[in-house]
Amino acid sequence: MIPKQFEYFAPKTVGQAISLLKKYKEDAKVLAGGQSLIPMMKLRLAAPKYVIDLNNIKGLSYIKEAGGVIRIGALTRHAEIEHSPLIREKLPIMAEAAEWIADQQVRNLGTIGGAISHCDPAGDWAPNLLALDAELVIQGARRRVVKAVKFFKGPFETDLKPTEILTEIRIPLPRGGRVGQAYMKFERKAGDFATVGVAANLLLNDNNEIVKAGIGITAVAPAPFRASEAEKILVGKQPTAELVEQAAQAAADMAQPWSDLRGSAEYKKEMTRVFTRRAVKRALERAGVTL
C-alpha cells in the first residue's frame, strides 16, 4: 500500500525538531531509522500529517565512554553497536542483543533511539537497558533524564511526551567485582520478534556471592519489564542450580503473556522460566561460575 499524504520536515538541530513537535503535536511523527514507522505508514496503521526526519541533525550518533558511563546517541545504528570495539569490550551484552535484531539491512538502517521510542512490546533493546540500569536523556522544553525502568509504559507507549525526543542512552559500567552478562532470545525463525527474550546482568564478589542482579524481560507482558522478584532471590547469595531455578520461576510468575500465533499464554510463561534460567546460567558462566 501507499502511505497517506503527509508533509515532510528535515530539521538540522534538536531545537528545530522540538519546535516542529510543539507546533504539530499528535499530528506529527518522528523519523529516526524508519524501520518501524515506514512499514506502519505503508500499511496505514500510522497516518501522520507531518513527518519530522531527525537524520540531518548532527551529533546524535556516537558511542563513547565518559566517567564510567557508556553514552550512545539516539541516532546510532544497530549495526554500529553490534560492531563497536568499545561496546564489545565494555558491554558485550549490547553487541549480543544487536545481533538478534531482525536482519542486517534493518540493523544498518534502524537506530537504537527510534526502536526504544517505538517501544514494541517484543523489542530487543528494552530488556537489556532494564537489566543494565540504563538512563535515557529526553529533550523537550527542558532536558530530563529518566531511568529505563520508568520509561517503558505499555505497548508502543513510553514516558516521552508528544513534544519530546530521545537524544541519548546512558549505561553505567559495573564496578567492583566479576561481571557476567547474557541476552537469550527465543524466536520462531531467524529475524523474528521474540517469543520471549531475557537479559541477565550479574555482579559477583570474591566470595562468589551475587552482589547485584539485573534481569530484563521482553515479549511476555504489555511492556518490557524488570524481573525484580527474581533479582531479590539472587542477590546476597552464592549461586546454585536450585537458586537459579527459583529465580527463573519468580520471573515467570511476573510475566503477563497473551496467546497468539507464537504460542499460548501458558507456553510463554514456561518459556519465560526456561530462558530466564538459561540466561542467568550463561551470565554466571561468563563470570566464572559453572553450575
The span from the CA of 126 to the CA of 114, in Å, is 12
Among 263, 178, 252, smallest CA distance to 215 is for: 252
Contact 11, 30 (CB under 8 A): no
Residue 233 cell numbers, joined: 532471590
The span from the CA of 81 to the CA of 71, in Å, is 11
- For residue 228, the model assigns a pLDDT of 98
Looking at the chain, the domain(s) classified CATH 3.30.390.50 span 178-286
- For residue 176, the model assigns a pLDDT of 87
Q: Which CATH class is domain 178-286?
A: alpha beta
- For residue 3, the model assigns a pLDDT of 87
Topology, domain 1-173: 3.30.465
Per residue in 123-173, pLDDT (tens digit) is 999 999 999 999 999 999 999 999 999 999 999 999 999 999 999 999 999
The span from the CA of 202 to the CA of 71, in Å, is 21
For 270, counting Cβ atoms within 10 Å of its Cβ (0-12 exposed, 13-18 middle, 19+ buried), the class is middle
- For residue 167, the model assigns a pLDDT of 98
Beta bridge partners of 185: 197
Q: What residue ranges of the chain have pLDDT lower than 50?
A: none
- For residue 175, the model assigns a pLDDT of 87
Among 183, 191, 195, 287, smallest CA distance to 238 is for: 287
- For residue 190, the model assigns a pLDDT of 79
- For residue 103, the model assigns a pLDDT of 87
Looking at the chain, the domain(s) classified CATH 3.30.465.10 span 1-173
- For residue 168, the model assigns a pLDDT of 98
- % the chain with pLDDT above 70: 100
- For residue 2, the model assigns a pLDDT of 85
Tell me the pLDDT of the chain averaged across its residues. 96
What is the CA angle 209-212-217, rounded to 5? Answer: 120
